[in-house]
Amino acid sequence: MNHSHHDHHHQPADTGLITRNALNDGVDRRGFLKCMAWAGTGLVWVVGSGTLSSRVLGATDAMGAAASGMPTMPASSTGLLNFVQISDSHIGFKMPANPDVAATFRETVKRINALPTTPEFLLHTGDLTQLSDPEQFDLLDQMTKECKTKQVFYVPGEHDVGSDNGAEYLKRFGKGTVGAGWYSFDQKGVHFIGLVNVMNLAQGGLGVLGADQLAWLEKDLAGLSQETPIVVFAHIPLWMVYPKWGWGTDDGAKALALLKRFGSVTVLNGHIHQALQKVEGNMMFHTARSTAFPQPAPGTAPKAGPMLVDAPKLRSYLGLTSVKYIEHDHSLAVVDSTLTDNAG
């Protein structure tokens, strides 16, 4: 498999339960708004046997189980693979929504370093920089070197490719990738796929994968058993979160159709600067908070864009996502946390 990584040395949460028969592997687009949770304080999500359960981050297992109606997670579910997703660092952004994005990025790194188990790697789901400027990439690299986790896998956001069609991004992170920077790799039985949907945006700003990347994806998946856990990560959500604001991928349904046969699929995205989760059949979709600034929830403002909040509240809108793979039941536990949550 192809590898693309960078090594440093070179709104209260809804705790509702959503269930779906794993054998019903059609991707249903109806009524998706009922299947979303806008998480303000962070949730633990566990996917296994077609069921998605959640508990409030920081609550005890018993408290979380009572809230969700689910049994407590066994103490033995320690997981064999731990990684962290970060997104939308926008290094170089200097507007009032956050005049010091470097400071909040450094806080994110400190939180990663404070995790009880050092993650094997980081996933950055795009918009590393504000303007794809070499100095902005340099600053991001310098700050990421402070993280105990040394391996980072990237996909670009539209801000990383807009000024030079991705030339600087690919020079730094394109080794071992295909096309505009897509690739796959395997970690401890989990197959990871990094997709690029920001190179030729469709009308209204929707992401586009394109025929070449979809053909590559089909070949990449062809030799895998349907029992293989799949994690797909890309910048713009692969599903239609809110097309009016360009929050979706025009041909994302074609990629999801290729993934339907797998028993456990987790799709990690950024772009919308807020934690959003939903489940459809065998697929769990998750978007991460930004480390830089929030954006409004769909339809709550005239348009998307940086959302100005009171300075003391800013860090409650920013954060990171920790993911733990539990091998015995092919589960992925996804934990959102903000920069105001207790570390650890």
Give DSSP secondary structure letters for 17-59: -EE--TT------TTGGGG-EE-SS-EEEEEETTEEEEEETTS
Residues in the chain: 344
What pLDDT score does 195 carry? 98
The dihedral built from the CA positions of residue 152, 155, 161 and 164, taken in this order, carries a sign that is positive
What contacts 166, CB < 8 A, 6 or more positions away? 132, 156, 160, 180, 181, 199
Distances (CA, A) of 59 to 31, 311, 337: 29, 26, 12
Whether residue 192 contacts residue 325, with contact meaning beta carbons closer than 8 Å, is answered with no
What pLDDT score does 77 carry? 38
> 4-18, 20-34, 263-277 — which is least confidently predicted?
20-34
Cα dihedral 136/138/140/144 (nearest 10): 180
Whether residue 132 contacts residue 101, with contact meaning beta carbons closer than 8 Å, is answered with no
Instruction: Please give the single-letter amino acid code of residue 160.
Output: D
Distance in angstroms (rounded) separating the CA atoms of residues 192 and 227: 14
> What's the rounded mean pLDDT across residues 305-314?
94
Instruction: Give the predicted TM-score (pTM) of the model.
Output: 0.80
Distance in angstroms (rounded) separating the CA atoms of residues 161 and 167: 7
DSSP state of 161: H
> What's the rounded mean pLDDT across residues 44-68?
33
126 or 50: whose pLDDT is higher? Answer: 126
Q: Which residues pair with 285 in a beta bridge?
A: 267, 278
Q: Assign 3-class secondary structure to 316-340.
A: HHCEEEEEEEEHHHCEEEEEEEECC
Q: Among 150, 224, 237, 137, which Cα is nearest to 185's?
A: 224
Q: Rounded mean pLDDT of the chain? A: 79
Q: Is 142 in a helix, a strand, or coil?
A: helix
Distances (CA, A) of 197 to 173, 184, 248: 16, 15, 10
Residue 23 has pLDDT above 60, yes or no: no
What pLDDT score does 22 carry? 30
What contacts 28, CB < 8 A, 6 or more positions away? 280, 281
> What's the rounded mean pLDDT across residues 225-250?
96
What pLDDT score does 70 carry? 32
How would you classify the pairing of strands 283-287 and 276-280?
A: antiparallel
Terminal CA-CA length for the chain: 34
> What's the rounded mean pLDDT across residues 89-95?
97
Both tokens of 61, joined, read 């297992």
Compute φ and ψ for 35, nearest 5 degrees: -105, 20
Whether residue 246 contacts residue 201, with contact meaning beta carbons closer than 8 Å, is answered with yes
What pLDDT score does 341 carry? 74
What pLDDT score does 327 carry? 60
In this predicted model, what pLDDT tens digit does every residue of 112-166 receive, in sequence order?
888 888 888 899 999 999 999 999 999 999 999 999 998 999 999 999 999 999 9
